[in-house]
Amino acid sequence: MKKAFVPLVVLAAAIFAYAPVAINRAELESTMLLVQKIFYFHFATWMALTAAIAVCGVASVIYLFKGSPIADWYGVASAELVVIFGVFGLFSGSLWGRKAWGVWWQWDPRVTMATMLVLVFLGYLMVRKYGGPGSEKLAAAMGIFGAATAPFVYKSTDWWRNIHPPTSVVKTLGDKFPAAWDLVLYCSGAFLLLVVLLLAARVRLEALRAELDRLYLALED
């Protein structure tokens, strides 16, 4: 990963530099017109968040049952990414809702559950920061339950119909609006690459912290 990191950063920068150009050139959607263009980053950020949740869930399980410190590094790094992408997802959704729904915020099941999900992972980070010794295991349990919540958030629009569009909108996008679907894939790929890079940088920070702790212990001995 060390050798590939810099080329991947350059690639991600190029992809993200071109993304606004491609989004600007994309056709307008018939009912929502310009504001629908928020969708491309809005959807991609939730894809990135889902990937980060999956990493956090798996890492938390491994850490809780095997005690692997590397799994713990991945757990805390991905939990931070869940919060970052969650905040952007909620913010971009709010801006879109202002135009499409006429309100900044709506207590729709999907929106409410997504907020709860982000709060669970914010709780994870707070437990890690202020929980003291042994908080890693408690946080890992929170990570598992946070990850278990994600499928409910995804299906919430189908089970409890409200103002947020159902999941079928994205499933049928390829047939109804192929150009938009290509752009959705492009942006989702860009965000997934970003997750990989941020995760690598953040895990390196945890590895350095572990090395620092080891040096402190060696000095005390």
Partner 1 sequence: MVRRTLCACLSMALWSVSLLAQPGQEGFAPVTGAPASEQIPAAPLVISSYAFFLVLLFVYLWTIWRRIGKVEADMRNLERRQSDGGQRR
185 is an interface residue for partner 1 by CB under 8 A: no
129 is an interface residue for partner 1 by CB under 8 A: no
Burial of 22 (0-12, 13-18, 19+ CB in 10 A): middle
Cβ of residue 52: shortest distance to partner 1, in angstroms?
Answer: 13
Exposed e or buried b for every residue in 94-119, given b needs 16+ CB within 10 A? bebbeebeeeeebebbbbbbbbebbe
**Minimum CB distance to partner 1 smaller for 64 or for 203:** 203
Cβ of residue 158: shortest distance to partner 1, in angstroms?
Answer: 25
**Minimum CB distance to partner 1 smaller for 33 or for 126:** 33
Burial of 195 (0-12, 13-18, 19+ CB in 10 A): buried
Q: Which one among 88, 121, 124, 177 touches partner 1, defined by CB under 8 A? A: 88
CA 78/CA 205 separation, integer angstroms: 13
91 is an interface residue for partner 1 by CB under 8 A: yes
Stretch that binds partner 1, among 56-64, 118-126, 132-140, 199-207 (CB under 8 A): 199-207
Stretch that binds partner 1, among 109-117, 121-129, 163-171, 195-203 (CB under 8 A): 195-203
According to CB under 8 A, which residues from 35 to 74 bind partner 1? Answer: 35, 37-38, 41-42, 45
6 is an interface residue for partner 1 by CB under 8 A: no
**Minimum CB distance to partner 1 smaller for 44 or for 144:** 44
Cβ of residue 68: shortest distance to partner 1, in angstroms?
Answer: 21
Q: Which one among 58, 62, 87, 173 touches partner 1, defined by CB under 8 A? A: 87
Interface ranges with partner 1 (CB under 8 A): 20, 33-35, 37-38, 41-42, 45, 84, 87-88, 91-92, 95-96, 98-99, 102, 194, 198, 201-202, 204-205, 208-209, 211-212, 215-216, 218-219
